[in-house]
Amino acid sequence: MRAVLQRVTGATVHVNGKLISRIGPGIVALIGIGTEDTQAEIAPLCTKILATKLWNENQLASHIAVPPQYAAEQQTPANGDAPTPAALAAAPGEGVKFDGDAAAAGEKSRSEEVWGGKPWKRNVMEIQGEILCISQFTLHARLTKGTKPDFHKSMGGAQAKELYDELLAKLRTQYVAERVKDGAFGEMMQCSLTNDGPVTILVDTDIKK
């Protein structure tokens, strides 16, 4: 199985203009199932999705500003003025520690300046983030015979959906079920996300070393 893991501040999936899924800070996982994949690939991929450390040590999902287009609800302040998109984007995360002198001296990485703490220390469970899985058969496309994608290595139909559903079930069992969302298998989806970093990790269970 192949997966593209993207650290996001928010994401949505629509089908025919209808909202199917929406998440805040967490991971968008594009999942590609190949013709040679079996149930044996599910546990290793599930572990990679849940355990890969993409966030800084001080980060929590609740401290990350969510772009307005991905916010489930807009809360209006007591003065009646709704927050502007610019204000939402500029809102600093709670608990983020900045050290201007150290940053100016080059003692901290850029990610430490922005988010605080050492980078690559927390996984999606530790920040209490969400996961949006999207089936993506094109991850197994090949261009060895020209410029037209060849999808013969992509598993399709009911067999692929069975493995995909088992992966979702395992993720929901090992994490918080309500925080694991899904797209629409086999449908033409419109996927929108804001990649945070950007951070994009490629995972292939067929690669052992």
Model pTM score? 0.82
Looking at the predicted structure, is the pLDDT value of residue 1 above 80? yes
Q: Is 136 a catalytic residue?
A: yes
Q: Is 200 a catalytic residue?
A: no
The band of 101, judged by pLDDT with boundaries at 50, 70 and 90, is very low
- The rounded distance, in Å, linking the Cα atoms of 10 and 24 is 4
Query: Nearest CA to 163 among 191, 192, 185?
Result: 185
- The rounded distance, in Å, linking the Cα atoms of 191 and 132 is 11
Structure confidence at residue 123 (pLDDT): 98
The alpha carbon of residue 198 and the mean position of all alpha carbons in its chain are separated, in whole angstroms, by: 11
Of 9, 12, 52, 137, which residue is the catalytic one? 137
Of 47, 76, 138, 173, which residue is the catalytic one? 138
Q: Is 98 a catalytic residue?
A: no
Structure confidence at residue 209 (pLDDT): 53
Looking at the predicted structure, is the pLDDT value of residue 96 above 70? no
Of 6, 52, 59, 136, which residue is the catalytic one? 136
Other CB atoms within 10 Å distance of the CB of residue 79: 5
Structure confidence at residue 189 (pLDDT): 97
Domains and CATH numbers, the chain: 2-68+95-204 (3.50.80.10)
- As given in the structure block, the two tokens for residue 98 are 């900045």
- Mean pLDDT over residues 201-208, rounded? 91
Question: 159-193: per-residue pLDDT in tens?
Answer: 999 999 999 999 999 999 999 999 999 999 999 99
Nearest-Å Rg of the Cα atoms of the chain is 19
